[in-house]
Structure formats: structure tokens, C-alpha cells
Chain A
Amino acid sequence: MSAEKKPKERIGVYVCHCGTNIAGVVDVAQVSAWAGEALKEEGVVIARDYKFMCSSLGQELIQKDIKEYGLTRVVVAACSPHLHERTFRNACAGAGLNPYLSELVSIREQVSWVHTDKVAATEKAKAVVAGGVRRVVHHEPLEPLHVPIHPATLIVGGGIAGIQAALEIAEAGYPVYLVEREPSIGGHMAQFDKTFPTLDCSACILTPKMVDAGNHPNITLLTYAEVEKVDGYVGNFVVTVRKRARSVNEDLCTGCGVCWEKCPKKVVDDKFEAGLGYRKAIYVPFPQAVPKYPVIDRENCTYYQKGTCKACEKFCPTGAIDFAQEDQILTLEVGNIILATGWQLFDPRRIPNYGYGRLANVFTSLEFERLSNAAGPTGGNIVLRDGKTVPRSVGIIHCVGSRDRNYNNYCSAICCMQSLKFAHLVHEKTGATVYNFYIDIRTPGKGYDEFYQRLIEEGTIFVRGKVAEVTDAARNPGEEGKLIVQVEDTLIGKQRRIPVDMVILSAGLEPPADAREVAKKFGISCSVDGWYIERHPKLDPVATMTEGIYLAGCIQGPKDIPSSVAQGAAAAARIVSKIQQKEIALEPVRASINEEQCSGCRICNDLCPFNAIVFHEDRMVSEVNPALCQGCGTCVAACPAGAIRGTGFSNEQILSQIEGLLLLNLAGKEAVVQENA
């Protein structure tokens, strides 16, 4: 009782084996024994190691010790705090200890998984534990901040993933804003002909869902619109949306279609028809568009360019054409956001040796979808670029722009099945000989490999090898007037030249061109390839690192329709459960200013990116508004008077952690100094 230096806290240290994940490299028993002995003066009263600290038995161990040893602080050395910080906080709370009086230090992601030298790793683990012990002494009991959740949800992107998510949330009874950049929802799925492996027509299964989304009383469609700005935080986002002028009054328009029949200006449709067909200057992208209102493309409309025409206005029976319409800026309050912004096709012009754009009869996969689609520019007839010749032989090249270190390393996931589908459609509609040039056939999905087997039986020829070149330079009379596919057939070990009439490039999927900008707008991160990063690659592929922002569909990574639908529904379920909780607990990591110490210099005022610091002219002091503060801590570091305190990351906590991390070295160095002296 009367010891001269009595530690003020009673600390428990728990070192996790994580099976062999940690114990295989770090001598966990040694670490815990060392902590129990060497850190006694720091207040460690019990140190243990256990196979799986995160298991219920591991958590019970902590809870028992809190009660038995009267622990006032807990340090767990295990995985990254991003994985299990919450687990151990809850364990402490369960035993009546304030959850913020615990600290999880990482000896897995940052020690055992990245180091091979067992001795060095064990020493580092000790240092990390010492850092945690020194830090935890300065932890304070905190209460999470509770903020209400706005029941509305914003969904960005009206493809199949976004539509599915919107319907799920709307069905649960909550309002949804579905924002789509194009004039109609539907996304890429609306362009497809058939879907693999069942070959049901894409439009037939998609359009009922589009109509449901369009008619649902809880869904507000904002098409031809884009998100401009996102403010706020989970539960209380304020989103600014620009609804571009359609030049058509939606209240009056009936979607009768007279305007686009009468419009004299034909424009190549490079979006929906992939450049193969035409639309008018006033148009709906496709007949089943939702909403049914057309849009005037002002860049191509004769009236906007030359000042005369107005044919559409003349013929419109309801007077819905409004040339003076302006963009609308809408401000939406939402609690959660789903990003379902999809993908864009890899531009095969980037691979010049495949000749796309130079050789007429080289098509992209999207072009072929339109060619084969009964509602497409050729009425579903698979013909060459001249519009009439039916090909007698077709080559389909896989992995164009995917699995290629010159372009994208990743596998685009859908191209194998898509190519098999193309082969089937060509075979069925034209009877042509079909070659599939593949590196590997990847058919992991329900009914997918059976489809591949069916194609083999149908007589499609499979050539294993990466195509070197597609050329029209014939070397013999048999090749005259044909496209020659130069490929190394790796199964027979020979170069082959295969003459065909038509080549389809099964191009890969890429993130939309502006994906990085959009990510920045929403405060989430992109992978090296540009796809958005999920919270956890296996256990949480739906949420992002930013609370309240979720992902659905291809923007998280290339995937097929069933996976996109599943992810859309999953994101919706997550949000509905959040809305039903009515409020959300936020980390109480906030800055606060001690008015006694504040000199009123106002340095912090300008540093805050969220304008969370207000200056009181009367008292000449600054104050932090905790509702706006996001807890970055920049003001804490900048305050010359040291008057600002960063909860959870206070100066004492960080400085003590530094001391702790260097504890072993200090001891070592002092010893050396003494020896020298």
C-alpha cells in the first residue's frame, strides 16, 4: 500500500495466438510473460496469452479478469483494430468496464504477417504491447455520440444493382432517391440481348423491374441527373443533385412519341446502340425507357444550334416541349447512400493489333449485343458492318484488356460466359463456324459450366492461346477478303492463321472514367485498378470504410447480373436495418477547446476543413461544434497554446505510446551508456 511509486491503473494484457497466424512467428508466451513481469511497474497486474482472443471463450477470459482482478484498463495484442476493436470494446462493456478504456494493438497485420525473423518479431511485439500499455493509462471513459438517422436513402446509378436496392428499400417502407446520369434507368443490362446461361431475354426480365421502380410511391427517380456535392456524415448527409434540363415538361408529357417521330435530326447513338444505330435529337434511349419522357440533346438539336426548327414543339399534343427549361439544383437529405455506378467497356482501340476501329468487321462485345438484339439496329440479324452480309465464320477473342499486364491485370469475370453466349447466338442464328480464342475458360457459377459443355457439343471450336493479331493482309488466296486471326495454339504448340468473316472482341470491364472523381466526392477509396474498396473483401463486401456509404454492382469489381442483384439487395438490407435502429452510435473522437487556455489567436479557425470551429468575439475564445467536428485532430496539433484536446488521440496518449514503443530500446541504450562510462 505504501509503495513509493504505485501505478494508478490496474491493467490486463492479452496476447492472441490467432491459431498460428501470430503464434507461428511471434513467441506469444514469451511476450505475455514479459509483459506480466517487465510492465508490472506500468500497472500490468495480469498478462495472458490465448489461442483465439476474439472467440467467446477469449472474451469471457477478459471479462472474468476484469471482475476478479479489478482491472481498470485492458490491452489486447491481436489483429488490426479495424477488424476487432469493436469486439474487445464490447467485451469490456459486458463486464462493466467503459469500452473506451481498452486498446487493441496489432501484432498480426503489422508483425507476424509481415516479418519472418522470429526473434525480431517477438521483440517488436513486446514493444507494441508496451506502447499499448503506456497509452491505455491515459484513456478516458467515453460515451459514443448518438445521432439520428434520416430514413431516406440515395442510390447513385440506375442499373440492375441500383434498381434492386431501390426496390428493396422502398418495399420496406422507406423513401429512396434513385439518381441516374442517363435519361432512363436500366443501365447496361437494358442493352443486352440474352443473358447467360439460361438465355432468357435481358429486357424481358429487366423492364418489369424498371417499371416497378418507376411506379413505386417510395421511389423518386432523378434521371438525367448527377450528384454534385455531398456534405454531412452518416445518418445526415446533405446531397446536392443537378437535374439537367430535359427541355420537356414532365408534368405535361405523356410519352406518346410524336416528337421523336417528327424530329428531322438524326444522330448516331453511341451510347445505347454502341454506335451502330441512330436516334433523333429528341429521344428516349430505348422504347421501354423509364421514365418515358424524352430528352432534347441540345448539342445536336437544330433549334439550339441554329435557332430554327421547333418541329417537336409544333407537333406535341400537350405542349410539353420547353426550350427555356433550366437545370434544377436539388438538395436532398438522406441517411445512407448506395453507390451503384457500374462499369464501362474497355476501349479495344488501345490494342491496335486487334484492329478495332480500323478493320470494319471487328466488333466489340457491346456492339454484338446490339447486333443480336431483336430491338437493335439490324432487328437481330447478325450481319457484317455493310448491314447485309451474313458471316460464315466468326472469331471471338477472350480477355481483351483483361488478364493482360499491359492493360488490366484482373479478370473481368463475365467475358468467358459472355463469349460462350455469343458463340451460341451466332451458331443458332447464322449457322456460322465459331472459334473461341481463350486463355482459360472460367465458368464458376450455377449452370455455367453446363453451358460450356453444351457449347462444346454444339460444335464451337475452342483454340487455347492469346491472339497476337487480327489482320486483313492475306498471305494466300484462301485468306483474301477475310480477317485473319494470328494465334499460337498452345495445345498443339503451333502458330495458326485462321481466316474469319467477323471478329468479336470480348472486351473487359473497367471502372467508369470518372470513378475516381466520384469516389472523392463521397469520401471513399479506389483500388489500384479504380474499383471502389469495400470494408472487408470477404466479410463485408457491401459497406465501405466511410460509415453510411455502401456499394452495389460492378463498381466494387466486375461481376455478373446475379451477383449484382444479390449485392444490391444486401446493401438495401444493411441500410434498412440501420434505419430501423433510428439512431447510430458514432466514435466520440472529437476535438474540444479549453477556454481557460485559449488565447483567441484563431489559428485553428482557418485550419478546420469542416468549419466546425466558431470564434466568440465577446469572450475572444474559439469553440468546437461537436456536431460538425470529424475528429481529424489537425487543430489539436496546431494550437500553439495546447488548449485543444483530441479525445481518443490526446497528446498524452500519443506521447506515452511513443515512450512505450521505445521502452525496450531505452533500457538497452542506457545499459550501453553505463557500460561505456
Chain B
Amino acid sequence: MADTAEPKPFEPVIIGFTCNWCSYRAADMAGTARMKYAPNVRLIRLMCSGRLDPTFVFKAFASGADGVLISGCHPGDCHYLNQNYKMLRRYRLMRRVLAQLGIEPERLKLLWASAAEGAIFAEEVSKFTEEVRALGPLNWNPDRGLQTADKVAVSPDHGPSSIEEVKA
């Protein structure tokens, strides 16, 4: 309450959605093994990444998150057979919609992490935090929407992976 007065360097806030069976347990494992990662991510546990309603992601961005991490079991390892594939479809769609809304699609990250991959989880969270930090705070401007969407489709600035994602 008292410490909002001084201007502080930008610290991104990331909301992470994890599944009960793999990625939340990966986060637990990172904890049990005392691996260190950036404190910027705040996790929400879902039963399955397939539960991820796109609304959740947009709600997070609208409520002040600078980045959103979606994490689930590796393809083929889903506790509910194949629901992570359904999340994957939504993820690709969401990246496109984000671009159209004027939000850099790179602010949404997908991470497969099995219950044994605490180290990978920790490492990727820190990496993503730095990526979002580089993007800067999310100053959402709805007017920029179309313009950015065009840019994503043609400009190489966003890197080949994102263009592929958008086209896919």
C-alpha cells in the first residue's frame, strides 16, 4: 500500500494456467527440489489444460497481466487421453485473436511439462519472464488492433515461429 509511491522498474506479471496432473506437479517438483525461478508468475490450477476457456486468457490480459502461460501434459501424455490437443487448437486461435486485438501474440506462451520436468518448468518460466519484460508492460490499445494484426502477418519482426503459429 505504502510502496506504490516510488517509480519502480517494470516487473511483468504473468498468469500461468497449469493442469492438475503434469504441469502443476512439475511446479511442485521445482519447489521440492528448491529450483529458483522468477517470482513473476502466479499459477492457477485446472484439472486439465483442456479446461482452459479462452475467456480465462483474455480475462487475465484485461485484468492487468502482461503475459499468460499455458502449461499442460506433453502431447500423448494427457491424463484425460487427448484433451491437451484441444487446448493446443485453442492456443493457436488465441494467438491470432490476440494479434487482432493489438496484443503481441508472444505474450501468450505454451509449455508442455511432465510431472518430472520441474527443471524445465523453472527454466522456461524464467525465460518467458524475460521475454515479457523485453516486450514491456501491456498497454492495451484497442485502436491498434487491425494495424498490428497486419504487421504480424507480414513483418519478420515477430520471428518466424510466430508467423507460422499465426498461419497454422
| B161 touches A (CB below 8 Å) | no
A-B contact count (CB 8 A): 149
- With a cutoff of 8 Å between Cβ atoms, the chain A residues found around residue B116 in the complex are 525-528, 533
- With a cutoff of 8 Å between Cβ atoms, the chain B residues found around residue A589 in the complex are 47
Q: Which residue of B lies closest to A633 (CB)?
A: B51
With contacts A120-B39, A525-B114, A533-B115 taken as known, whether A634 is within 8 angstroms of B48 at the C-beta atoms is: yes
User: Does A668 contact B4, Cβ atoms closer than 8 Å?
Assistant: yes
| A329 touches B (CB below 8 Å) | no
With contacts A114-B37, A633-B51, A634-B80 taken as known, whether A108 is within 8 angstroms of B63 at the C-beta atoms is: no
Q: Chain A interface secondary structure, helix, strand, loop or mixed?
A: helix
Q: Which residue of B lies closest to A637 (CB)?
A: B53
User: Does B59 contact A655, Cβ atoms closer than 8 Å?
Assistant: yes
| B34 touches A (CB below 8 Å) | yes
Minimum distance in angstroms from B5 CB to a CB of chain A: 9
| A271 touches B (CB below 8 Å) | no
Complex Cα spacing A577 to B25, Å: 27
Complex Cα spacing A38 to B25, Å: 31
User: Does A124 contact B39, Cβ atoms closer than 8 Å?
Assistant: yes
Most buried by A among B13, B54, B59: B13
Complex Cα spacing A113 to B33, Å: 8
Complex Cα spacing A170 to B80, Å: 32
| B83 touches A (CB below 8 Å) | yes
- With a cutoff of 8 Å between Cβ atoms, the chain A residues found around residue B28 in the complex are 80, 82, 106, 109-110
| A573 touches B (CB below 8 Å) | no
User: Does A630 contact B80, Cβ atoms closer than 8 Å?
Assistant: yes
User: Does A636 contact B25, Cβ atoms closer than 8 Å?
Assistant: no
Minimum distance in angstroms from A651 CB to a CB of chain B: 7
- With a cutoff of 8 Å between Cβ atoms, the chain A residues found around residue B133 in the complex are none
User: Does B22 contact A657, Cβ atoms closer than 8 Å?
Assistant: no
- How many residues of A are in contact with the other chain, CB < 8 A? 60
User: Does A661 contact B80, Cβ atoms closer than 8 Å?
Assistant: no
| A255 touches B (CB below 8 Å) | no
Q: Which residue of A lies closest to B68 (CB)?
A: A658
Complex Cα spacing A157 to B159, Å: 50
- With a cutoff of 8 Å between Cβ atoms, the chain B residues found around residue A637 in the complex are 50-54, 90
With contacts A632-B83, A654-B44, A662-B15 taken as known, whether A545 is within 8 angstroms of B32 at the C-beta atoms is: no
| A121 touches B (CB below 8 Å) | yes
- With a cutoff of 8 Å between Cβ atoms, the chain A residues found around residue B82 in the complex are 609
| A454 touches B (CB below 8 Å) | no
| B141 touches A (CB below 8 Å) | no
User: Does B86 contact A649, Cβ atoms closer than 8 Å?
Assistant: no
Complex Cα spacing A106 to B122, Å: 16
| A111 touches B (CB below 8 Å) | yes
| B97 touches A (CB below 8 Å) | no
Most buried by B among A108, A113, A117, A651: A113
Complex Cα spacing A609 to B77, Å: 14
A520 contact from B77, B80, B122, Cβ within 8 A: B77
Mask, A502-538, CB within 8 Å of B = 1, is 0000000000000000001001011110000100000
Q: Which residue of A lies closest to B1 (CB)?
A: A38
With contacts A633-B50, A636-B53, A637-B53 taken as known, whether A667 is within 8 angstroms of B42 at the C-beta atoms is: no
Complex Cα spacing A124 to B125, Å: 15
- With a cutoff of 8 Å between Cβ atoms, the chain A residues found around residue B90 in the complex are 637
Minimum distance in angstroms from A352 CB to a CB of chain B: 30
Minimum distance in angstroms from A536 CB to a CB of chain B: 10
Mask, B19-35, CB within 8 Å of A = 1, is 00110110110111011
| A12 touches B (CB below 8 Å) | no
- With a cutoff of 8 Å between Cβ atoms, the chain A residues found around residue B47 in the complex are 589, 631-633, 646, 648-649
- With a cutoff of 8 Å between Cβ atoms, the chain A residues found around residue B64 in the complex are 662, 665-666, 669
Q: Which residues of A (625-641) have their CB < 8 Å from a CB of B?
A: 630-634, 636-638
Minimum distance in angstroms from B46 CB to a CB of chain A: 6
User: Does B48 contact A661, Cβ atoms closer than 8 Å?
Assistant: no
User: Does B115 contact A661, Cβ atoms closer than 8 Å?
Assistant: no
- With a cutoff of 8 Å between Cβ atoms, the chain A residues found around residue B30 in the complex are 109, 114
A545 contact from B21, B44, B83, Cβ within 8 A: B21
Q: Which residue of A lies closest to B63 (CB)?
A: A662
| A127 touches B (CB below 8 Å) | yes
Complex Cα spacing A667 to B4, Å: 9
Minimum distance in angstroms from B163 CB to a CB of chain A: 27
| A57 touches B (CB below 8 Å) | no
Most buried by B among A116, A610, A655: A655
The 6 closest A-B pairs by CB, nearest first: A109-B31, A633-B51, A634-B50, A632-B80, A632-B48, A609-B81
21 cross-chain CB contacts under 8 A: A109-B30, A109-B31, A114-B31, A114-B35, A115-B39, A545-B21, A589-B47, A632-B79, A636-B53, A637-B51, A637-B52, A637-B53, A646-B51, A649-B46, A649-B47, A654-B53, A655-B59, A658-B15, A658-B44, A669-B64, A671-B4
A residues sitting closer than 8 Å to B (CB atoms) are 34, 38, 80-82, 106, 108-111, 113-117, 120-121, 123-124, 127-128, 131, 520, 523, 525-528, 533, 545-546, 589, 607, 609-610, 630-634, 636-638, 646, 648-649, 651, 654-655, 657-659, 661-662, 665-669, 671
Given contacts A110-B31, A110-B43, A533-B116, list 4 more A-B pairs with CB under 8 A.
A114-B36, A654-B44, A654-B56, A662-B13
